[in-house]
Amino acid sequence: MIKFLLKGLMRDRSRSLFPVLTVFIGVFLAVFIYSFMNGVLADMVRSTAHYQTGHVRIMAQAYAKEANQNPNDLAFIGVAKLLDVLNEKYPEMIWTPRIKFGGLLDIPDEKGETKTQGPVSGMALNLFSSSSVEIRLLKVKEAIMRGRMPKQPGEILIGDEFAKKLQVSPGDTATLISSTMYGSMAMTNFKIAGTVQFGVAAMDRGTIFADISDIQVALDMQDTAGEILGFFPDDIYHEKQAPIMAAAFNKEFKDSDNQFSPQMGTLPDESGLADYLGLIDSMSIIIIMIFVVAMSIVLWNAGLMGSLRRYGEIGVRMAIGEARGHIYKTLILESVSIGIFGSVLGTLAGVAVAYLMQIYGLNFGFLFKNSALMISSVYRAQVTFGSFIIGFAPGIISTVLGTAIAGIGIYKRQTSQLFKELEV
């Protein structure tokens, strides 16, 4: 019977072509949107971890309350000792200290007088070591547009867009005017080793990068850092492990009576992404449900049209004694075949387009020109195992649901009317 039904579907395109195209388009959109949302979410989490919070972040309690202002006067003292403890207790994690600072970058002319200057935000990390995990995570070498990596004390990297605005090039001197950890003014000369472009508007527009040892000297922060970031070795945030680790650390080291004692927070809590992550998960389910309902309505109408066209065929089958239930089941089997075929084609097409977008991405930089968010301007999809299966449920369910609703008309047929219908 199944072989007979499949032959009928292949030979009669009017019974299969439109439903297959409908399923194909619906599944294609479902797979592509699911992969695109996965990519945007993964990129958002990855960028936030790399540039802001790590997978877990340790700060002094006082610093944490005003973390958005980068209050280095409240930074944690005794970083070396804490790093030793962290490496001993959590050897599977990668720990790295950072200092975020702000100030004014002054560019002198030939006479040493101010030529141009601009407000700057800075990030101090490990740049001198070739094995630095931060160079790999932030892809600093790949981001260099002009010049080279800093190789010795007193060298910095500057955002390429910021460099053009200040009219400076690699090799020029820049003076950082900021404040020390204790509130006094600090002025330090640096040599611009190179310019970088990360594709993150907020960073490319006004950020400098220096080795943490240089900034510790410049801002009088020896053995001090604003925060210590922790990364999982596979560079993936593990939502089950991270909260357990943070709870255990806080239970042992956090002292509510000492505002300078360390506390650990997880990526969603530190970045404020917890609500967004939950929202995106809910939106994925809602989008799939919308496709199921929409395709079911379309295929219901297609089933009604098919029933009208096959009115005589169904009548003959009933006249020769075929049970209504059997006819109904065969229609359902046809819809399952159409659903599987359309879902396979739609999944393959959706995955193919999503994979191309995963490789090349789409640049939405024009939307984030004036943005202060640490998110990449290039959006990419992400093909996962779920991309291959997410379309089958709506593809098959909607087809079967549409046929099931349309096929109810079979049970309303009156046998007494069959011969009159057949005469016509």
Residue 5 reports pLDDT greater than 90: no
Higher pLDDT among residues 54 and 15, named by residue? 54
Angstrom CA distances, 84 to 112, 245, 249, stand at 44, 17, 14
Cβ neighbours of residue 156 closer than 8 Å, sequence gap 6 or more: 150, 174, 190, 191, 192, 193, 208, 209, 210, 214
**Quick one: pLDDT at residue 372?**
44
Report the C-alpha gap between 207 and 238 in whole angstroms: 30
**Quick one: pLDDT at residue 316?**
67
Average pLDDT of 291-315?
63
The confidence band for 415, taking pLDDT boundaries of 50, 70 and 90, is low
Residue 94 β-bridge partners? 231
CA atoms within 13 A on the CB side of 413: 30
Q: What is the pLDDT of residues 104-133, one digit of tens each?
A: 999 988 887 888 888 998 999 988 876 778
At 324, list the tokens.
């209504």
Report the C-alpha gap between 390 and 388 in whole angstroms: 6
Report the C-alpha gap between 271 and 373 in whole angstroms: 11
At 147, list the tokens.
């010049």
How do beta strands 185-196 and 155-159 pair?
Answer: parallel
Q: What is the dihedral of CA 147, 104, 178, 191, to 10 degrees?
A: 20
- Residue ranges with strand state E in 368-413: 378-379
pTM: 0.72
Q: What is the pLDDT of residues 344-384, one digit of tens each?
A: 888 999 999 999 988 887 766 555 555 444 556 667 788 88
For the ranges 18-27, 152-161, 265-274, 275-284, which has the lowest average pLDDT?
Answer: 275-284
**Quick one: pLDDT at residue 45?**
81
416: how many CB neighbours lie within 10 A of its CB? 7
**Quick one: pLDDT at residue 348?**
92
Higher pLDDT among residues 69 and 158, named by residue? 158
Q: What is the pLDDT of residues 162-205, one digit of tens each?
A: 898 888 999 999 999 999 988 889 999 999 999 998 877 767 77
Report the C-alpha gap between 259 and 247 in whole angstroms: 18
**Quick one: pLDDT at residue 238?**
87
Q: What is the dihedral of CA 11, 12, 18, 24, to 10 degrees?
A: -20
The confidence band for 48, taking pLDDT boundaries of 50, 70 and 90, is confident
Q: Contact, 306 vs 406, CB < 8 A?
A: yes
Q: Contact, 163 vs 193, CB < 8 A?
A: no
The confidence band for 86, taking pLDDT boundaries of 50, 70 and 90, is very high
Residue 57 β-bridge partners? 229, 265
At 22, list the tokens.
């409908």
Report the C-alpha gap between 60 and 67 in whole angstroms: 10
Report the C-alpha gap between 158 and 123 in whole angstroms: 10
Residue 95 reports pLDDT greater than 70: yes
Report the C-alpha gap between 253 and 132 in whole angstroms: 27
Q: What is the pLDDT of residues 305-335, one digit of tens each?
A: 555 556 566 666 676 766 777 777 777 787 7
How many residues in the chain?
A: 424
